[in-house]
Amino acid sequence: MVEDAVEVPHKSTGQKVAEYLREHGASKTATIIAISTLPIVELRGAIPVGHILYPDVEKSTRLGRDDLERSARIFIYAVVGNMLPVPLILLLLGPISRICMKVPWGKRFFDWLFARTRRRTADIEKYETLGLTVFVAIPLPATGAWTGAMAGWLLGMSFGHCLLSIFLGVSIAGVIMTVLALMGWIGAVIAGVVLLAFFLGILAKAIKTANP
């Protein structure tokens, strides 16, 4: 008799990393921070995992005080983790790339990496600080703090401007992911529309100032 196949739910990279860390004794806090530091996964993967680690956060439009406190805690841990690699990228990318590009494999890798980053962040150059913030704020796989930091460095933006822009973008992405985790797609769409209207207003003012 052939047994019915049991469907195994798909697990994200963040969930797999979380399970590994928890099995090896990492706390919930350390797990969320660690996942947020990872390239590609970043905050957009850490916040949903945080809500899995704290399963008593109710996914309802009627949120209690405990739900909001847990969500705020997850948000802070994720933002901190996502920002940890940024100063290191901004400070060390130049020296490391110059050293590695002296050998063929290093040159091939960094030529590919920089070309890929430039393709994905072409619009940042036009609007600089604002463009970098918007780019990082969009919680999609091709965006985020890692790519934003590399783009800022490639564009020659100052350390302070890059750090501030990326922090704002990471925080906004965190708000979107938190609303998504708490309220589902409806809440995320509302948050996205509000943030989009906000940025369009800033962008319109910037264009008007540049072209009086």
Ranges of each domain in the chain? 13-210
Residue of 85, 12, 39, 50 lying closest to 177 (CA atoms): 50
Whether the Cβ atoms of residue 33 and residue 80 lie closer than 8 Å to each other: yes
pLDDT for 6 beyond 60: no
Phi-psi region for residue 63, left (φ > 0), alpha (ψ -120 to 50) or beta? beta
pLDDT at 25 over 70: yes
Strand (E) or helix (H) holding 134: helix 124-137
* Segments in 10-84 forming alpha helices (H): 13-23, 28-37, 42-53, 65-83
CA dihedral sign of residues 201, 203, 205, 207: negative
* H or E segment and range at residue 110: helix 104-120
Residues of the chain with pLDDT > 90: what percent?
Answer: 29
User: Per-residue pLDDT for 79 more than 90?
Assistant: yes
Q: Encode pLDDT of 136-195 as tens digits.
A: 988 777 788 999 999 899 888 889 989 999 999 999 999 888 888 777 666 666 666 666
Please state, in angstroms and rounded to a whole number, the distance separating the CA atoms of residues 131 and 150.
Answer: 14
For the cut 60, the answer to whether the pLDDT of residue 62 exceeds it is no
Whether the pLDDT of residue 15 is over 80: the answer is yes
Distance (Å, whole) CA 192 – CA 187: 9
Say which range, 9-13, 71-75, 101-105, has the weakest mean pLDDT.
9-13
Q: How confident is the model at residue 76 (pLDDT cuts 50, 70, 90)?
A: very high
Q: Are 29 and 131 in contact (CB under 8 A)?
A: no
- Position 167 scores a pLDDT of 95
- Where does the chain show beta strands of DSSP type E? none
What is the arithmetic mean of pLDDT over 124-143?
79
